[in-house]
Amino acid sequence: MAQACSENAGKILLRNQIISRSPFSPNEPHICIHLRNNWTWQELSKVSAKTFKKHIEHITNNIAILINNQNQTIGDLNIEIKKCPFAGANGIWIPTSEGDQISYVKQSDSNRWLYLTQPVGSAPANSLVGAQWWLGTKDNKIAKKAWGWVREMKPAGNNDKVELWNVSKWKYYSDDTKKWTNADVMEVTVITKEIEIKRMIKERTKALKETCDDKVCEYQNKMKNAEIISTEHRQASKLLFNNLNKEDRIKLIDKTPFRRIFKIEDLCSVCFASEKTTKCVHADCTGACANCRGENQDAKCCACNKEQILECPVCMENYPPSFINRFSCRHGVCWRCFSQSYVAKKPIIKCPMCRKNI
């Protein structure tokens, strides 16, 4: 019984081969992944696209080991035909044994078979000398009749039996020209376990991507709808806010929830405009836009309705903001004290209040 650990990262095993607390389902494959800071076994069908991508290297290595450890008989594997001009030949074909001979039936049509038979006028039908591959009906396959829609084209003088996937040249019967025509682009591929697993991974990855894309699209639409609703609410709130008189606005803004909204949203607490706001000299000011605040920085604040007076920490005199040299720490000294410090050759290089460099 395998434990979930870093050594088994990406390994795929059945439920009865692992140590796990999940419900017992022996036929369900589980994969060892690192989830929420712990190694665990998770059902392969429930692995997210992000986790799958994270462990893709381990998964690929473990699949390669699994394939190398399996004994495969290539004649027992399905084959796939692609790019045949005769569309009825394209698809998956399943092998069936009849004595020492193998025939193939199409997965989607049980009346279409690929079988070995002798061309007309050659060796007996039961002989494999010079035998050709034909694609025909079930009755023709039973009778080993050299008739159908697609056939192997043997090189001159070559009477050896060739495996289906090794046939180099094919011909197909064209309904348009009523003649046998070369099928040069036709491909016959053996579907090995490796190919099946790669297809499974590709299909699973595609399904996860489609699901993820659908969710992303869904939430993008929800975000757009939320933005529309938010804009409508803001417009309605602006109309209601601007219909209040100045005293009622100040009372409303002075409440903690509203103060937080104006601070986070960067809304003007005077006209409710969604523009860049600035505060006055008071720390509890909710801020106002440049249009509402005007050019006179010494006037009473239109947002908090307080006088703009600051005290110089050096001379202890009160001054309006225009008479104060304010530092980045929001403290400041009056211009008279600041100038006299240079006259006395002891310039102010640190804030007298918080001692930060200015």
Structure token pair of residue 272 = 């409710």
115 phi and psi angles, rounded to 5 deg: -145, 165
Among 91, 88, 72, 89, which residue's Cα sits nearest to residue 80?
Answer: 91
Give the span between the Cα atoms of 10 and 58, in whole angstroms.
Answer: 5
d(CA 100, CA 139): 20
Tell me what pLDDT residue 65 has: 62
Distances (CA, A) of 335 to 298, 308, 313: 15, 16, 12
Does the pLDDT at position 16 exceed 70? no
Q: At what angle do helices 56-68 and 193-242 cross, to 10 degrees?
A: 160
Q: In the prediction, which pLDDT does 323 show?
A: 93
Question: What pLDDT score does 91 carry?
Answer: 93
Using alpha carbons only, give the angle 270, 275, 279 rounded to the nearest 5 degrees.
Answer: 60
Whole-prediction pTM value? 0.41
pLDDT tens digits, one per residue of 126-166: 556 678 899 999 999 988 888 899 999 887 666 667 788 87
Q: What confidence score (pLDDT) does residue 281 get?
A: 84
Average pLDDT, stretch 337-356?
A: 91
Of 32 and 221, which is predicted with more confidence? 221
Structure confidence at residue 156 (pLDDT)? 64
Residue 159 pLDDT: 67
C-alpha distances (whole Å) from 5 to each of 8, 37, 38, 41 are 6, 12, 8, 9
**What does pLDDT average to over the chain?**
82
Tell me which of 249-253, 267-271, 351-355 is least confident: 249-253
For 288-340, write each residue's pLDDT tens digit: 888 888 888 888 888 888 888 999 999 999 999 889 998 888 889 999 999 99
- Distance in angstroms (rounded) separating the CA atoms of residues 62 and 44: 14
Tell me how far apart the alpha carbons of residues 321 and 308 are, in angstroms, rounded to a whole number: 7
- The alpha carbon dihedral of 159, 162, 167, 168 has a sign of negative
For the beta carbon of residue 43, count every other beta carbon within 10 angstroms. Answer: 15
> Greatest CA span in the chain, whole angstroms?
124
Q: How far is CA 69 from CA 6, 59, 65, in A?
A: 22, 15, 6
- What is the C-alpha to C-alpha distance for residues 358 and 276, in angstroms, rounded to an integer? 25
Distances (CA, A) of 334 to 280, 328, 348: 17, 15, 11
Mean pLDDT of 265-286: 82
Residue 354 pLDDT exceeds 70:
yes
Domains within the chain, CATH numbers bracketed: 6-68 (no CATH), 74-191 (no CATH), 244-306 (no CATH), 309-358 (3.30.40.10)
Contacts for 309 with CB less than 8 Å, ≥ 6 apart: 281, 318, 319, 320
Contacts 24+ apart (CB under 8 A), 200-206: 201/59, 201/63, 204/44, 204/52, 205/49, 205/52
> Mind listing the pLDDT tens digit for each residue in 63-120?
766 665 454 555 678 889 999 999 999 999 999 887 667 899 999 999 999 998 876 5
On whether the CB atoms of residues 132 and 155 are closer than 8 A, the answer is no
Displacement of CA 238 from its chain's centroid (Å): 40
